[in-house]
Amino acid sequence: MKQLLLPALLAALLAGCGSTPTSETGGAPVEGRTPGGVTTVTAPEVSGSGLPAELTDPKSVLSKRSVYFDYDKYDVKNEFKDVVAAHAKFLVNNRQFKMLIQGNTDERGSHEYNLSLGQKRADAVKKSLLLLGAKEEQIESVSLGKEKPKAEGHDEAAWTENRRADMLYKGPTGSGEF
């Protein structure tokens, strides 16, 4: 009889400890301990995409998701190193998030050349993120070559927009951009 009573009591105790999120953002409250007692802090605000607001707020550096490259180049330019560093910091602090980096090229060059160059661009951003502390299992890099232009057109302005690597996020619940 004692063998049946103990598991039943444990189950009742655990069921009584359950809580319901009170935040409108859908996140569960986070409990923090301070010397004076318990402080309740709500989960990060989540946008309509299911991603934390800091990733979608236009005022945040994390809303910048593209790294642009010079013609036939795949090195991350100095002007984008702060953007990459901010994303690396986010990934370090949020290990449950995944990132897909899509390398893109302009329309010039053969299909094979552009796929190779797009992969080198995606890999360059990935390498920078890894060097700044992100984990290999958080990041996937792929090439789209010239198949996903950001700007239509056949001039330098369009080509400049299309030579890029885009960083897309997926949250722990599978919500996000990819």
The Cα-based distances of 84 to 22, 54, 65, 105, 147 in angstroms read 34, 15, 9, 19, 24
Using the Cα atoms of residue 141, residue 144, residue 148 and residue 150 in order, give the sign of their dihedral: positive
- Do 88 and 128 touch, CB atoms closer than 8 A? yes
- Domain extent listing, the chain: 45-170
Residue 8 — pLDDT band, cuts 50, 70, 90? Answer: low
Collapse the DSSP code of 88 into the 3-class scheme (helix H, G, I; strand E, B; otherwise coil) and give the result.
helix
| Structural fold of domain 45-170 | 60s Ribosomal Protein L30; Chain: A; (3.30.1330)
**Alpha helices per DSSP H over the chain:** 2-16, 53-56, 81-93, 111-131, 156-162
- Do 92 and 138 touch, CB atoms closer than 8 A? no
Residue 37's DSSP bridge partners are: 34
Model pLDDT for residues 12-44, shown as the tens digit of each residue: 545 554 444 443 444 433 444 444 444 433 345
Model pLDDT for residues 30-82, shown as the tens digit of each residue: 444 444 444 433 345 555 567 999 999 999 999 999 999 999 999 999 999 99
**Alpha helices per DSSP H over 62-110:** 81-93
- Do 159 and 69 touch, CB atoms closer than 8 A? no
Model pLDDT for residues 104-113, shown as the tens digit of each residue: 999 999 999 9
Global model pTM greater than 0.95 = no
Q: Check whether 139 has a pLDDT greater than 70.
A: yes
